[in-house]
A = this chain, B = another copy of it.
Amino acid sequence: MAHWQRTRSCGELRAEDAGRQVTLNGWVHSVRSHGDLVFVDLRDRTGIVQLRADAASSPDVLEALAAVKSEFVLSVTGEVQMRAPGMANPKLGTGEIEIHVSEVRILNPCRQPLPFQLNDESQMSLVNEELRLRYRYLDLRRPRMQEILRLRHRVVASMRRFLDSRGFIEVETPIFTRSTPEGARDYLVPYRLSPGLFYALPQSPQQYKQLLMVAGVERYYQIARCFRDEAQRADRQPEFTQLDLEMSFVTQEDVLQLTEDMTIAVLRECSNKRLGSVPFARLTYDDAMLRYGTDKPDLRYGLEIADISEAMRGTSFGVFSDVLASGGVIRCVRYPGGSRLSRRETDDLARLAKEWGARGLAHLAIEDSDGSGHGLTLRGPIAKFISETERERILSAAKAEAGDLLLIVADAADVAATVLGRLRQEIARRLNLAPSDVLHFCWITDFPLVQWNAEENRWDAEHHPFTMPHEDDLPYLDTDPARVRAQCYDIVCNGVEWGSGSIRICRADIQAKVFALLGLSEEVQRERFGHMLDAFAYGAPPHGGVAPGIDRLIMLMTDTENIREVMAFPKIGGGTDPLMGAPSTVDEAQLRELGLRVVSS
């Protein structure tokens, strides 16, 4: 061991080490100089420890330590000693001790002024994100970022351990594959040996994992890099990582149970957050849309949407009766304590509802007229249209309580769902109903197989074209495609879709039928998916899987809504990397070799 190499790590030193000689390596986190006494916080990946030197006992060391600056890389040798009485720092694991330094070696100085301070987290929100990413190697030194990197490692390691214990094997699938236009745009890689040919980067290893099932692997997973050339949104990156898994000889129930067991195991191992419900709640798509107005419900709070269409079946209020007559619905959501809202505040909610697509927003304040808790009354512009029977039915359907404001949308079912779903979220946000220390997972099942795309005048796959219909609904493929439910499921947490999966089609005839329903001619089927149809003809086992996002999970665990916080080297804006300067121009010769010319688009 070289003389400058550490014998211990900074963050691990404790009172019981007092009296020991140690050599430490690390970065200068901060320097506090008091003339004849200097303190330096030295930081390595395990934490921070206080170094000390004073003029009386070691004037040379004092001078050396007083001269170092933030982010110098040091090797120091000294003795662990208890801090003076009253000087302990209970916030630090090493807070009871300090190092009386006898030798300081500068392994590498920090020669430039720092672009931002690394020792003051409170200031970080003020730092421009592009600057942080340009100096990501400094940004990542911050303990918060180190924690995220370590958490990400631990979570993935925990997933792997779980899956290994269940007989899964990780198989690497190619990054260089074939363009199969569907969903997002593919990224392309020009093929030098034959200009005009391109590899495509996989949007997910979907086809490969199904082929691995055909290949008899039976239990596959991969921490898989995926590539989608989408419009950049705050939570999108050109590349992202998912846990891709697939199983053979399974039903939907098996995939759900395994995923749930894994999720619980990983979170119990790696997180202090509570789990909202174990076993995870399960909702059909229809049920989720009805009760929460979304297929990604946040179940950390209640505030279920109530359908009061039946309660209002004979209403004298023209707007409501017109909607019901035209096949629409009347639904409402409770705003607890909302009866106290001002006219301006309810107008504001109505404005939001209209922005989200509603024709209007009615409201009813619930009041406890005699203070008894019984005999609730309604107040508001439409109260006069509501009969006593209707009032009782509404109160019961909405589980309304005194002080509530009922927000009512009468509209087509999908509009009512969307608007009330968003109002429900808005109310929860305002009332702070979603506890931040809870991860509430649920499954959404029984999605429709296809959705009508009015613009393109065709059926689109709701999930992807390899999704198996419910066996019971197979006859409707020909007669009523909208009615076909898919063996497809999403796992949702705190209102965010974490992962999606399905039982896949394993028979060539059903696959061809679904392709045809999606408007693919036989020729196009052969051209794009001939290898899949072939594979299914050689004895494909029943199989299915799921693909939860790694980035997304770490975001949920660390309470960040910025995906860039959970990736070591993310892109910003339109997909650029200010650290490396990517993307960049390339040599003319390189392009010539690829047989490409850049033209104005």
Contacts and interface: CB of A to CB of B under 8 A. Distances in A.
Interface string A86-117: 00000000000000000000011111101000
Contact of A216 (B109, B146, B160, B188): B146
A372 B496 CA distance: 87
Contact of A584 (B135, B178, B253, B586): B178
B597 A601 contact: no
A579 B215 CA distance: 13
A15 interface: no
B169 A150 contact: yes
A594 B586 contact: no
A360 interface: no
Interface stretch (A32-40, A136-144, A315-323): A136-144
A241 B173 CA distance: 11
Nearest to A599: B597
A174 B577 contact: yes
B217 A45 contact: yes
Interface string A563-601: 000011101001101011111111100101111111111
Given A45-B218, A146-B217, A175-B227, A108 B580 contact: no
Interface in A251-297: 251, 253-254
A346 interface: no
A409 interface: no
Interface stretch (A198-206, A378-386, A390-398, A456-464): A198-206
Nearest to A25: B249
B141 A153 contact: no
Interface in A1-47: 1-2, 5-6, 25, 27-28, 43-45
B538 A110 contact: yes
A10 to B, nearest CB: 11
A192 B593 CA distance: 20
B25 A140 contact: no
B193 A575 contact: yes
A577 B540 contact: no
A326 to B, nearest CB: 41
A271 B350 CA distance: 69
Interface size class of A (residues with CB under 8 A): 35 or more
Taken together, the copies of this chain in the complex come to 2
A310 interface: no
A160 B161 CA distance: 10
Contacts of A579: 211, 531
A179 interface: yes
A189 B192 contact: no
Interface in A173-202: 173-179, 181, 185-201
A149 interface: yes
A556 interface: no
A85 to B, nearest CB: 33
Contacts of A218: 44-45
Contacts of A25: 248-249, 541
A596 B597 CA distance: 6
A310 B201 CA distance: 60
A211 B137 CA distance: 6
A537 interface: yes
Contacts of A6: 249
A208 interface: yes
A577 B25 CA distance: 49
Interface in A535-578: 535-542, 567-569, 571, 574-575, 577
A164 interface: yes
A25 B587 CA distance: 56
A507 interface: yes
7 contacts: A5-B251, A44-B218, A108-B540, A176-B239, A192-B229, A193-B575, A212-B568
Interface of A: 1-2, 5-6, 25, 27-28, 43-45, 71-73, 107-112, 114, 135-141, 146, 149-150, 152-153, 156-157, 160, 164, 169-179, 181, 185-201, 207-208, 211-212, 214-219, 225, 227, 229, 238-239, 241, 248-251, 253-254, 506-508, 531, 534-542, 567-569, 571, 574-575, 577, 579-587, 590, 592-601
